[in-house]
Structures are given as C-alpha cells and as structure tokens.
Amino acid sequence: MLTGQSTTVQVDENALVPGVERIYADGEMADRIRDFPWQDTSLGAMSGWSETLLCAVNMILESQFPMLLLWGQEMVVLYNDACIPLEGDKHPAVLGQTGRNCWPEAWHILEPKLTSVLERGAKLYFENELIPILRQGCLTDVYWTYSYSPIRDAAGVICGILVVSHDVTAKLNAERERDAIAANLKNVLESTTDGLVVLDKQARYTYVNEQAARIVASKPADMIGKSQWDLFPLAATTKFGAEYRKAVETGMPRHFENFYPEPLNAWFECHCYPSEHGVSIYFREVTEQKQAERELRERQELFRVLADSLPQLIWMTDGLGENTYCNQRYFDYLGVTEAERTSIQWLKLVHPDDLAATLKIWNHSVETGDSYLNEFRLRRKDGMFRYLLARAVPIRNDRGKIERWVGSLTDIHDQKLAEDALRKSEKLATAGRLAASIAHEINNPLEGVTNCLYLALQDDSLNSDTKAYLQTAEQELRRVGHITTQTLRFHKQSNSPAPTDICDIVDSVLALFGQRLASKSIRVEAECEQGLVATCLGDELRQVIANLVSNAMDAMPQGGVLHVRARKTGSWDLERQQGVKIIVADSGHGIPSAVLERIFEPFVSTKETTGIGLGLWVSDGIVRKHGGTIRVRSRPRIQKAQPSGTVFSVFIPSVRMHG
C-alpha cells in the first residue's frame, strides 16, 4: 500500500478540446508532452496516437506517484511531474528518447527485465534494488523500489510498459544508520562493565544486558518480563525501592549506593534515569571498591596516629610545594590550628639570616627532584628561634612525575648546643693540657731561679739598692710561681669546701696585682665587710676574683678606677638565700652587646689576639659549682667623653659571720 500526501488539482476551464491534443492534465510534463515534436520519433505525431497510448499518458500525468511509460519496441520514454526529481540532470532531455539512450549506464541491468515484459507480458516488482545512474556527471549508487507492468491495447497486444518507481536511497541510508546505531548501542550495552536494566512503571524488566544478569547471578531471559520485587524482594523495602519510586514519581535522576544482603551480599552503586515508560538503571558492584576505601581509611588513620606520635614535625606538599598535610606536632610546635594550615606562611617563620639559603635549597629540590636536606632556624610558638633539620623525599607516579613531597622537621637545637659545648669542652681540655704542660716546664727552672735569689739575698755585702731589686724580683717570681701553680691546677677538682675569710681572699688578690695596678695608674677602691666568712673552695674563689681583677686591668689601659666590694646579702632568686656578694667594677671601655650575650661561653674574649677566652667560662663554672651566680652589666664607650665601664657581681651562698 502506498501512502503519501494528496493533492487537489484544479481543472482548467480552458481545457483542450478533445480530438485536437487530447492531453487533458496540466503541469510541466503535460505542457512538455503537448509541445514535444513527436513526429520525429517512432510514436509519430500526437494526432495519430492510439487511444491506448493517449489513455496511458493521461493516466500517468494525473498521478502524484512517480510514473513513466516506455512505449513501443524502442521503448520511447514519457514521464510525469513526480518523476522529474528522479531523472536529475537528465531532465528534460530524456523525454521522447529511447530507454537505451536515456540510461546507457544501467541498460545492461534494465534491458533483460523490460524485454521480458514486452515479449512475455511479465509483471515485475523489485524492492531496494541497486541501479547506479549518472547524476551530475558521476555514476552514483541509487537504490530503487519499482514495478514493471505491461500495457495492452483492445486486442490484447502489449504496446508498452508502465513503470512505477521510487528512489529509496535516502530511506535505506537512514535505516542502515539507524540499524548501525542500534547495533553499536547494543554492543556498548552488552560490552560495558556496568549492568543495565530497563523497568516499566510496574517495575517489570523489559531489558537486561548480559553484565547486569551476570552481576546478580542470573540470565537475561530469566529476568525479562518479571517484577524486580519478585526477583529481589528485599529491594522493595530498602533504599533500592525508595530511590526507584522517587525517580518515577519526580521524574528526576537518582544516584545512590546501598548494600544488598543474602544471596548477593554485595554493595551496589546505582544510577536511575526515569522516562515516560519507566526507568533505566545503571549499576555496578563496588564491594572491592568499598573494601579498598575502608582499607585506605584505615591506612590513613594509621598514618595519622603514627605521624602524630612522632616527635618530628611531619608535613606533605603537592608537586609544586603547596602544603597539603601537617601532623599535630607541627600545629603544636607553631601554635596554630589545623584550620589555619593553608594560611601558614612558614617562610615568615624562618630566621631572616637563613631564609635565602633555605629557599635556594628547596627550589633546587623542586626543580630537580633531588631529596631535600637543610638546617635552618624556625620561630617556635613562644617566639624563640630554634635550629631544625628538614628532610623531604619526592613521591612519583608511574610516569616519573613528582606528585607530592613527604618531609619532616626535627628540632636539633639542644643537640646543636650540646655538640657546640662538646667541641668547646674538647678545645678547653686541649688548652688545659697544653697550659699544664707549659706551666710544668716553667715551674722547674722557676724553682732554680727562686733558690738563687734566696741565696743571693743572704749576702750581707749587698748594698741596699741591689738588695731592694732582688727583693722585688723575688716578689715577682712568687707571683709567677702562683700563676704556674694555678695553671697546673687548671680544671682540676680542689680540696673539700671549708670556711674561708672572704676579705683575706680579696686582699691577697689585690696584693698580687698591686704593682701592675700602680704601673697602669689604676686607683683601687676596696671595701670588704670584716668577718665575712663563706664555706667554699678558697683557691678556686681566689681564681675567680683574680680573673675579674685581671680583666678589669686590661679594660683600663690608660688608667682608671677599680672598685672591689664584698658584703653579706641575700640571693637574687625568690628564695632569698643568704650569702656573700662580691662586686668587681671598672671604668674601662666596656663590652659590646654582641659579645656580652656570650661572655660566659668558652673562647669568647674582648681581647682579640691577646686572650683565649677561657677565664670567664672557668669562673662561671666555679661559681655554679658553689651553688652561686655571676652576673654582668656593661656600658661600652661610643663617644670619647661618654662614661663607660663593666660591673661583675658574684654571689656565693652559705655564709658565717664572726663578730
């Protein structure tokens, strides 16, 4: 059955008079047929056409379906308006031509069929047959659905062929494309790792792909037409059923995860897409994935607990160095919260003197992928800059690209202080051994000189001046002998503490340095509270005072005033322990603030090349050993006329007064 649009043709009131042209239709082809010089063809002039031919021509011209006539043994071509698009660029030249001349490119296909119609009266029908024809100068594949019917005159003789034809190329191409899309879609749906089912509004399965059936341990044929609730009854009362109903009721997609117990015992990720006919559901089993997520969470928690239990500051960054993780120790050390992690500007916490080198080393690691190793000072939450050792290693992906850095910060401040102290102690021990060795070498010849002086002074024939010079030399040798004795005792434990008169110690020290003080034009102002006694190691305390007086003398090369005071007092701490306070003050050039901060460290000296920087370090150790304290304040001279000087205060506890 043919279907199509109907067309109403308005009858021309000036229709041709019968018996003249006898072509009654209107339209392009009717006009062309009436005007064509048929007398030049085998059909002859139109006035001589048979009633059969005229009837056939008027019939095709009145039809809205593509029709043409092949008349006579030469198969002369006549066609209607509906055939014009089918003839393409052959129109209108094919009118009145023989079939062989019209379609030479396809005549080898057409002639046998047409001949069978003319000679045997065959009635032929062909559907979707490929007959290539010339279009725009090119041989083009065209598919046709057509029929050949014989036309007979009143005597039953076959005079021509009625051809009813339609170009179905576009239709076939559309169907093939549709079928290809459908086949591809089926292949996709069947090859996807996702399960796909389609349910109608009664929750019956209308489509099930192989993967969906496999996931639920079934076959598509066993599921099609059956209700989801019958096959999986627990789904109706769980999240599966609730989400399905929401999708159908609201017309909105739903996405969810849920666990289905026995017999599946599996987690499913589901995506519901409603339509007017029901709902399509894509789903996959994610039980491996869920297990992996749980294991990942467990590993992350284990890492967090481990990282938080470490004394180091643990951190991570992305490949470009942006912070992505810090352990709790990191936040506690810097005094910030985890919420403030991304806003931590750690470069501002680095000591200014270490910033440039730290950036250079870090940038080198980011650019090259080398492991990061650096020491720098970082400001702790209490404001103190402390030394930290930073380490970091890159984590790479399968392609070798750095995805993140994992690093640690270890507080090594106390370790560095200990190492520094150890180095200084080793240097001190070396210096002590050297000093003791030198003192020992000096002491032997010194005793010989002392004995000679003693014998010389026994000579009564010496004049008074010579004898005075010898006595002075003897006093100086005794001082030198005292120094060598102290040097031999350098850094050795003295005898047990004993009650000692502090004033005697002060007087002995001032007497020892008397001539040097006088020669340097240094005026001494001494004040000592009489009967002042402390339980101490007298020789060691004498070494402390002697060192302070010696330093004061060196600070006043052009002369000045030396103040030495000793009195009973309380300690500086809250316990107010009773003891002795000894003050040694000078009016010298003072101590620079940079040196003053480290004045009690070994090998720190204001005397440049003339001092080794051990005296105050030894003195501080002696005072601490007695349970006391030593303090210093100083004002360095900036301008010539400006007052300056240094004051050392020594406190020794445990005092007994004699009245």
Pick one of 3.40.50.620, 3.20.20.70, 3.30.450.20, 3.30.499.10 as the CATH number of 291-411.
3.30.450.20
pLDDT value of position 659: 39
pLDDT at 19: 41
Contact 392, 372 (CB under 8 A): yes
Cα distances (Å, whole numbers) of residue 76 to 31, 97, 99, 102, 160: 18, 5, 6, 9, 9
d(CA 554, CA 520): 9
pLDDT band for position 82 (50/70/90)? very high
Mean pLDDT for 251-257 is: 85
Q: What is the dihedral of CA 483, 487, 493, 496, to 10 degrees?
A: -10
pLDDT for 5: 36
Q: Give the pLDDT mean for 416-430.
A: 66
CB burial string 540-568: b at 16+ within 10 A, e below? bbbbbbbbbbbbbbbbbeeebebbbbbeb
Q: Quick one: pLDDT at residue 240?
A: 81
Rounded to an integer, the average pLDDT of 175-201 is: 70
Q: What is the mean pLDDT of residues 424-452?
A: 63
- Look-up of token digits 């380490």: 391
Give tens-digit pLDDT for 572-617: 664 567 889 999 999 888 888 888 888 888 777 776 555 566 788 8
User: Mean of the pLDDT values across residues 341-370?
Assistant: 83
| pLDDT recorded at residue 315 | 77
Residue scoring higher pLDDT (469 or 146)? 146
pLDDT score recorded for residue 123: 95
pLDDT at 431: 60
Tens of pLDDT, residue by residue over 456-484, are 777 777 787 777 767 777 766 776 666 66
Say if residues 331 and 338 touch (Cβ distance below 8 Å).
yes
Q: What is the pLDDT of residue 258?
A: 81
**CATH architecture of structural domain 494-657:** 2-Layer Sandwich (3.30)
Cβ partners under 8 Å of residue 258, min gap 6: 238, 239, 240, 243, 267, 268, 270
| Structure tokens, 285 | 């089993």
585's CB contacts (< 8 A; 6+ apart) are 552, 562, 563, 564, 645, 646, 647, 648
Q: What does the domain layout of the chain look like in residue ranges?
A: 28-173, 192-285, 291-411, 417-474, 494-657
Give yes or no for residue 447 having a pLDDT over 70.
no
Look up the CATH number of domain 192-285: 3.30.450.20
Taking only the tens place, the pLDDT of each residue in 527-567 is 998 888 888 888 888 888 988 998 888 888 888 999 999 99
Higher pLDDT, 37 or 346: 37
The model's pLDDT over 156-172, given as tens digits with 9 standing for 90+, comes to: 999 999 999 988 888 88
Give the pTM.
Answer: 0.37
- Once rounded to an integer, what is the mean pLDDT over residues 248-264? 83
Q: Check if 192-285 and 291-411 are the same fold.
A: yes
Indicate whether 321 pLDDT > 80: no
- Homologous superfamily of domain range 28-173: PAS domain (3.30.450.20)
**How much is the average pLDDT of 354-366?**
88
Q: Return the pLDDT at 481.
A: 67
What mean pLDDT is predicted for residues 15-29?
70
**Whether pLDDT at 60 is above 90:** yes
> How confident is the model at residue 515, as a pLDDT?
80
Q: Give me the chain's average pLDDT, please.
A: 80
DSSP three-state, residue 332:
helix
The reported pLDDT for the residue numbered 71 is: 96
**CA-to-CA separations, 229 to 27, 112, 355, 529, 588, in angstroms, rounded:** 66, 64, 69, 108, 103
At 1 the pLDDT is 28
Is residue 38 scored above 90 in pLDDT? yes
Give every CB contact of residue 372 below 8 A, 6+ residues apart in sequence: 361, 362, 365, 390, 391, 392, 393, 405, 407
pLDDT at 409 over 80: yes
Higher pLDDT, 172 or 29: 29
As a whole number, mean pLDDT of residues 391-401 equals: 86
Which residues lie below 8 Å from residue 569, measured CB to CB, with a gap of 6+? 578, 579, 580, 581, 651
Q: Are 69 and 96 in contact (CB under 8 A)?
A: no
Please give the pLDDT value at position 573.
Answer: 60
pLDDT at 13 over 50: no
Poorest-confidence range of 56-70, 334-348, 500-514, 635-649? 334-348
- The model's confidence at residue 454, banded by pLDDT at 50, 70 and 90, is low
Q: What is the pLDDT of residue 247?
A: 84
Of 501, 438, 508, 489, nearest to 622 (Cα)?
A: 489
Quick one: pLDDT at residue 7?
39
Helix extents (H) in 36-125: 51-62, 84-87, 99-102, 107-120
Tell me the one-letter amino acid at 337. T
The pLDDT, as a whole number, for residue 343 is 61
Residues 243-268, mean pLDDT to the nearest whole number: 83
- What local confidence, expressed as pLDDT, does residue 10 receive? 43
- What mean pLDDT is predicted for residues 407-417? 83
For a pLDDT cut of 70, what percent of the chain falls above it? 79
